[in-house]
Chains A and B, each alone.
Chain A
Amino acid sequence: MSNDKKQQNRGSRPHGGPMGMAMSVQKAKNFKGTLKRLINYLRPDLPKIIIVVIFSIASMVFTIISPRVLGDITTEIYKGFFSPQGVDFAPINDLLTYLSVLYVLSALFAYIQNFVMVGVTQNTVFRMRKDIKEKLRKLPLKYYDSKTHGELLSRVTNDVDTVGSTMQQGLNNLVTAIVMIIGVLYMMLTISVTMTLVALITLPLSFFLIKPIVKRSQKYFKAQQKTLGDLNGHIEEMYSGHQIIKAFGKEEGSIETFTGINKELKHAAWRAAFMSGIIMPIINLVNNIIYVLISVVGAILFINGAIEIGNIQSFIQYIRLFSQPISNVASVSNLIQSTVAAAERVFELLDEEEESRQEDSNIFNDVVGHVTIDHIAFSYKEGQNLITDFSVDVKEGETIAIVGPTGAGKTTLVNLLLRFYDAQSGDIRIDGKSIYDASRSDVRQAFGMVLQDTWLFKGTIMDNIRYGKLEASDEDVYNAASIANVDHFIRTLKDGYQTIINEEANNISQGQKQLITIARALLANPRILILDEATSSVDTRTESYIQNAMLKLMKGRTNFVIAHRLSTIKNANHILVMNDGDIIETGSHSELLAKEGFYFNLYNAQFNKTLE
């Protein structure tokens, strides 16, 4: 496989790389605008956020005062050392009490601030998810069909989570950083301007040393992410296609390709790891240099009587505090970028155009089942002409079969009837009333649906069948299941109707799933039925159960069937022959055979005589 084809986007976020400050960051398209909007979004929690900020500042203030006080105690001790009376414990005890109070308050406020902030963050996550869910309910099916599930899920999970977690850290670090810098600077100046200057001159040193390293490591991190993505893609493909690789004897080739990418990864990975690993030592070095300088300068100043001895100690502690926010700046900036980028994707979704809505009116609650399709024209995309002009009148109780090769567009008609998509021109009427005058919910009340894709959710079999009619009694459910030929099977299961269908729904066979969906449709008891007969890989016994159940289901209703069984097709009142998205022939079975057209060929293919 050509290597350069593997540059596609593999998965949402490949995990990779050792922990380090320099990670590759996603950038937002409209930073300012999204930031404003995000702040607006947080408005309901504004009072709480204000509390958080106040407590954060308070906690910081207490933290900043403490080193000074501790230093003063040391100064007292020193004085006591040189005085004949010994150490004077009176002021020391006072200072100690004061310090204890500061420590406790600082911790308490920090705890409260975190407590509240967590609440705010999670509430925001909650609200965002809720809003997305609400929004999705209103979006047209076109949106669903145009995006992969993975992409939509990523917005709900990855993006919302990113907003949540980075918001918490980002806000915290931002406030602490600002307060810290201002506060510590102030305290340092009150001790000694000279020492502050010494400290300030050396501080940018760390910045200048770190910045180029971070930049270079970014380069390697990017390369690492990319090769990791390529490698993971190769692994995924080769493993999913394991049997084919074996069948064609391509194991060696696959391993060779792998080794190549693996080497590339090694090259980028250790460099990235190394780069991120030396950031800490460099910060330490700078800290140590400052430590030494302050000790020396402090000692000199003390000897000259300009400062107290305790001040040296305090100053050293202040330096330690001061360098924290500096190193945090890089990560805070990254955090905020990530938050805004993620928020942007969420807002994008929330801004999507909703489908038109009408008022619910229960207008189709008791239909007889007479469906008229009147000169419908439809296409999914502009300019692409699918159905150009189609009409059919289906009286109550009649069956209309839709046939055609795979990909012919048979589900299009289903989409139009259920108003998953709307026709561009023409009308569809049920019992004489246009479906476009009613709400979508109203229209769907009239229909029942059994599709090829059996959608069952994680829950008991009872719940799944009851989905057809939520108010149904247990008896009703058993009844429906019996008619659907699946009651016996359910009762042979260990937990019977209380058996839980798991997420992949693979603890019951495909055939049985089909029968359960038929039971569900029976329970809903619609007058008009949409049915997809396609069944694949089902054993003969279950196949006959399904056929039989479907026949019972169709009795007495108006049926739109995507037909695969000849018996269904032959017995239908109308047959629609579709190909390439359009309806090319209509009529009854005998009429169509007489035409000797597409249908005729299709029918004969089922009985291919010889291979000649």
Chain B
Amino acid sequence: MKKAYKLLTTRERFTVLLIILLVSAQVYSQLELPSYTADIIDIGIFNKDLPYIYGKGGLMLLISLASIVASIFASFFAAKIAVSVGTKLRFWVFQKVSNFSSQEYNKFGASTLITRNTNDIIQVQNFTYTMLRLMVMAPLMLIGGILKARMQSTELSFIFWYSIPVLVFTIIVVAFVALPLFKKLQERLDAVNLVFRENLIGVRVVRAFNRFKREKERFSEANLNHITIAKRVNRIMTSIMPVMMIIMNFTSLAIVYFGAIKVDEGTLQIGSIFAFLQYAMQIMFSLVMASMIFVMFPRAQASYRRIFQVLNEEQTIQDKEDAIEQTETTGAITFKNVMFKYPGAEMPVLSEVSFTAKPGNITAIVGGTGSGKSTLINLIPRFYDLTSGEILLDDVNIKDITQRSLRSHIGYIPQSATLFSGSIRDNLNLGKEDATDDEIMDAIKIAQAEEFVSEKDGGLDRVVSQSGTNLSGGQKQRLSIARAIVKRPKIYIFDDSFSALDFTTDFELRKALHPHIKESTIFIVAQRISTISNADQIIVLDEGKIVGIGTHKSLLQSCDVYKEIVSSQITEEEMDHE
């Protein structure tokens, strides 16, 4: 656990000590009270000494007050520390993940990273809060209670040798039985949700095939399975209370009975019976508290581990010490014998890839699924680092340039458009922070997005909802393209960005785009031949290797793989048209 000790500042560590002290004071006061009551009875009542009673009473009030003050301060500090730990962890994780390269990121995946940054941290925070207050209280009260009880009467203490083990045994049995059931319960609930979800998503299919009866049966089964376990688990959990009560009650019974015998023998005071009963309660209570901590611990520990797994992850792509800030560039990209293999994989995804993409040219990349197209394109902005070979920007190896400056020259448009919540203007500012509205509108016009960014919907101020659900796929894609255009980069990367658009828009957009980007280096990865058929150079990939480079016409003659791809999209006679 690398950074664990840094979670608490030195000051906070002293505060923890302070909390322990305060809690100890609190426990001490709690434990004093019953013995004072014993005194009131044995001495005050016995001697009919009223002033004594008042005196003791007053002392007890003072002690109670002291106890609560200690307790409040303890809570105060505990809350501050727990939340501070949570806040810090949250920040560390977020910072770490933000700086992940695509490799680390994809190792985990978005959803688990989100959970680790949210729920897991709350688990740890809650546990810290509970722990700080109870961790000292439970054992202190347990030991202190037993000691104080013995002070009242050593002989009666033997009762605890029976009660405590029985109580502990009960708790353990319940834990052993109930905990695996909880897991099962969750699984059964997931099953119910699954059937339900499937029926929601597939409602058309279910209705079209008239499969109501079958779905009803499936659901009934899942429903029944769930509540059967739910009944069992809940019945066990609710039985804990009566069982605890019986143990405590019979303990009280034993205390009174044996206390009676001792009093008769003359070896015990009446007041002691009182006090003993109180201490018994406190001891039982501390055991319950302790068991609560044991229950919470595994969950918190699991969360803690998951958080630090992220924090301890090595960042594979980092700027070199002497990395250059490449402020100017022509935009020329050269691949020299590039090989890429996932760490631990047998086969490389890309090998022996060499080519040059010149500014002003369109370089298209095609190939079947799994041929390595996306990987190739992802190497250019250094989302991944190649395993061997070189990628040069102008004549400089991109590994020698700062990531920031490298990406400042690249306009990246992914396959599925990612927009963020905020206004359209906010989204486009991602491309260029201080872009004027005119610059933004220009980009939008070029991207064929003007028709839906109209004044009546708010124009540039129109709000895009989270993950852009109030816009169609094609509209989102066009905004995504506009965002890159605003940047006016020297390199454009279109990673299958046109597939969400229909043929007409695809055509119109590229037509409009062309005059504005003809000095840049353009990379297009596409499925549709019509999108790339007039590229300056088409790179055909098959199983990670280049099997053809050239223009559409030349490849139709020379490259079989290319011919295969083209023929699956248009018929023979249309090919002849070309």
Contact = CB atoms under 8 A, between A and B. Distances in A.
Given A130-B220, A258-B91, A455 B201 contact: yes
Contacts, number: 411
A418 to B, nearest CB: 6
A43 interface: no
Given A118-B238, A407-B474, A296 B40 contact: yes
Contacts of B418: 240-241, 243-244
Nearest to B108: A239
Contacts of A337: none
Interface size class of B (residues with CB under 8 A): 35 or more
B74 to A, nearest CB: 9
Nearest to A317: B277
B135 interface: no
B48 interface: yes
Interface string A30-67: 00000000000000000000000000000000010010
B98 A606 contact: no
What 6 A-B pairs come out closest when comparing CB atoms? Answer: A277-B75, A539-B369, A405-B502, A455-B202, A270-B83, A114-B238
Nearest to B261: A87
Contacts of B423: 2, 5
A77 B270 contact: yes
Contacts of B48: 303
B83 A449 contact: no
Interface string A157-179: 10000001000100000000000
Contacts of B330: none
Contacts of B447: none
Contacts of B193: 153, 156-157
A233 interface: yes
A257 B328 CA distance: 30
B223 interface: yes
A309 interface: yes
Contact of A241 (B50, B230, B420, B507): B420
A14 to B, nearest CB: 8
A97 to B, nearest CB: 10
Given A153-B196, A274-B76, A457-B202, A299 B41 contact: yes
A291 B37 CA distance: 9
Q: Which of A104, A244, A418 has the most CB of B within 10 A?
A: A244
Contacts of B263: 77, 80-81, 87
A464 B130 CA distance: 49
B355 interface: no
A259 B205 CA distance: 46
Given A80-B264, A114-B242, A144-B203, A405 B129 contact: no
Nearest to B570: A566
B130 A122 contact: no
A247 B97 contact: no
Interface stretch (A248-256, A323-331, A473-481): A248-256
Contacts of A271: 79
A467 interface: yes
Given A19-B126, A249-B407, A540-B568, A110 B231 contact: no
B356 interface: no
B119 A418 contact: no
B404 A249 contact: yes
Given A73-B256, A251-B98, A246 B84 contact: no
B214 A539 contact: no
A293 B201 CA distance: 65
Given A455-B201, A566-B571, A103 B68 contact: no
Interface string B456-472: 00000001011100001
A263 B68 CA distance: 30
A251 to B, nearest CB: 5
